[in-house]
A and B are shown apart, each in its own frame.
Chain A
Amino acid sequence: MSNPTHLIAGEHGDSSITDWAERQGYKVKFMHRPTGHIVEFPAVISDFTDNHVPAMESRYGGNQHDPMTTQTGTGRNISFTLSIVNSSIEEARYNTQCTNLLIQMLYPSLDTQNTFVGKPIINIQLMNLLDGNETGDGVDCIVENIEYSVDFDEGIINGNRGVPALNASGKEIYPTSVKINISGRTVLQTVGDNGEANPFSTNNIYGG
């Protein structure tokens, strides 16, 4: 049995934003639960939303303005956009492997008959914004959509063998900047010891 892979994007980019992210500890980490594969990126986040949605059932009585509500649960929906920038062909190739692994995390583990056996649940740790439950080591998420967008106006990197060979390297094309939007729901299964539905660590949910 081989070991899980652990990739860290930007390892080849000493002149890029990676260095700043490293010094500040701005990182986002994804772990594929069925296999244990991990990939980390510098947390260049352009937006982040975290919706906590209580599920309520409402009933209405006669001559009553206000509903009688019953809470049946709470969902937490997250969405954020991660930018991945490349400063060289080497960094672009390596970062592409990292984004490939992130995309592959949307797929399950299979048995010998190619039946889905391991649900592709992804543990996401985004600094203090997604810090996790009691153990504070990330949040398990059902990622429903990954949107991979290329901004061609910011330029591309390709074979880099001199311009005649830019043409010749036609197979390789790496965007200077890629935006990856990730949206999904968190898996919350922990109930606090005090009986209240607080699935977060004892600290503030968002730190501070």
Chain B
Amino acid sequence: MALRPTPDQSSYIDDVPSLAEHQRLQEEIVAEGGNPIQDTATMQFANEVTPLQSPEDTMPSELPYNHAATTRFIVAHTLYPSLRLRSNDQDWFECYIHPTSYQESFKSRWSAEDSSDGYLNQQFSYGGTERAVSLSFVLPAVSVKQARFNLTQCSNMSDMVYGKYRNLRVEPDQIRVLAGEKTFRADFGSLIRDEKVVVSKFSFSVDPDAGAFDYDGSVVDSEGTPIDSDVTHSTKGLLLPKQISVDVEFIFIHDDALGFGGSNRIPGIGDLKWAENRNRDWPHGTGHIHVQDYMRANNITEDTDIEDIRGEDGEELTQEQKNAVFRSRYEGLRTIGEGPE
């Protein structure tokens, strides 16, 4: 792993901030992507998600730096963003992962028909473009709490590939029927930014070479009840692996029309601009640099003759009234002015 330390980073292990501090800074610094959009689905889930612990609660009091899994843990927490999957305002998965592979495919659907004789090529018809991601990562654990946390996360993620169910009353019984797939909001740094996804694959494997946390019944509290320590646990028969490998695949369901021009752009002005009109890059984020002009949200005060808009009788309008008239003329234009960088 090639780190890119700056000259003042020689003692970086000591400088690792707490997870709470990380999350606070993450929210504070990064403006791109905006706030998560809530999934409005109201289907009842057959399997309720297990509430997640705070990741901070899983941190050991002291990191055992001499273990290979510890290195991965530190790398995951210092270099990579967290992978987050939410649905109905509830976290299903939130964890600092150590990614090993990220493959994103954009597949266009073309159909071909034979042309008349003499033409070399077929006639092509375009049907759309699909986006999917295959992500492999490792969940390292440096403490018993972390190992339990990782297993809980994986349990929740395994639920994601099963559909959602609803109760159907068939007198005198009530049965549960499949009501479609579950959708989530996924976020992984600048690679996946608050996108609606369907989880199309989840594969879980334990890395036996990394070892496991063993049971030790001799560690007890003041009342003699067996308890977990950082490196041993109190549940006989429980396997807590120190490292888990996960493969997961997402299919993206986009909220906005994708292409150039479209209903969110001003006809004649935004025909060559990206349809989303949100002043942010897509599909991958680019931090705090300005977006290219074709990605910029239309600014009606610069790009249009909104200042010339008058009332039905030619009277002067306030700026707010002009904006309202403008919006009504270009129905579907969602974003006016500057959006998130």
Contacts and interface: CB of A to CB of B under 8 A. Distances in A.
- Please indicate whether A and B come from the same complex rather than being unrelated chains: yes
Interface of A: 1-5, 7, 32, 34-37, 72-75, 89-90, 93-94, 96-97, 99-101, 103-104, 106-114, 116, 118-120, 142-150, 152-160, 162-176, 185, 187-191, 197, 199
Given A36-B272, A150-B101, A152-B100, A144 B26 contact: no
Given A73-B121, A152-B100, A37 B6 contact: no
Given A110-B275, A145-B105, A146-B106, A164 B119 contact: no
Contacts, number: 243
B65 interface: no
Contacts of A147: 103-106
Interface string B95-111: 00001111111111010
B108 A37 contact: no
Interface stretch (B43-51, B139-147, B168-176, B261-269): B261-269
Interface in B315-341: 332
A112 B332 CA distance: 9
Given A109-B261, A152-B101, A2 B4 contact: no
Given A35-B260, A93-B286, A155-B1, A167 B8 contact: no
A73 B189 contact: no
A68 B21 CA distance: 75
B25 interface: yes
B22 A173 contact: no
A2 B261 CA distance: 11
Nearest to B284: A96
A145 B108 contact: yes
A112 B189 contact: no
B77 A149 contact: no
Nearest to B115: A73
B271 A1 contact: yes
B17 interface: yes
A119 B1 CA distance: 41
B257 to A, nearest CB: 4
Given A37-B272, A107-B258, A168 B29 contact: yes
Contact of A106 (B8, B12, B33, B108): B108
Contacts of B193: 171
B294 A107 contact: no
B124 A75 contact: no
B121 A144 contact: no
B106 A148 contact: yes
B107 A189 contact: no
Contacts of A188: 120-121
Nearest to B303: A2
Nearest to A2: B272
B204 interface: no
B274 interface: yes
B281 A100 contact: yes
Contacts of A165: 25
Interface string B246-289: 00000000000111111100011111111100000111111101
B interface, size bucket: 35 or more
A197 B107 CA distance: 30
| B16, B104, B268 interface centre (most CB from chain A within 10 Å) | B104
B9 interface: yes
Contacts of A107: 129, 258-260
Contacts of B22: 167-168, 170
B17 A164 contact: yes
A196 B130 CA distance: 38
B94 to A, nearest CB: 12
Interface string B22-33: 100110011011
Contacts of A34: 260
A168 B5 contact: no
Nearest to B29: A168
B85 to A, nearest CB: 16
B41 interface: no
A97 B263 contact: no
A158 B272 contact: no
Nearest to B135: A150
B26 A168 contact: yes
The 8 closest A-B pairs by CB, nearest first: A155-B2, A168-B25, A163-B12, A171-B30, A110-B262, A170-B81, A173-B189, A150-B102
28 contacts: A1-B271, A1-B272, A35-B260, A75-B121, A97-B281, A97-B292, A100-B281, A101-B292, A107-B258, A109-B271, A119-B126, A120-B108, A144-B108, A146-B105, A152-B1, A155-B4, A163-B6, A164-B17, A165-B25, A168-B21, A169-B26, A171-B26, A172-B285, A173-B191, A187-B124, A188-B121, A189-B120, A199-B120
Contacts of A104: 260, 274, 282
Given A2-B269, A100-B284, A162-B8, A172 B30 contact: yes
Contacts of A187: 121, 124
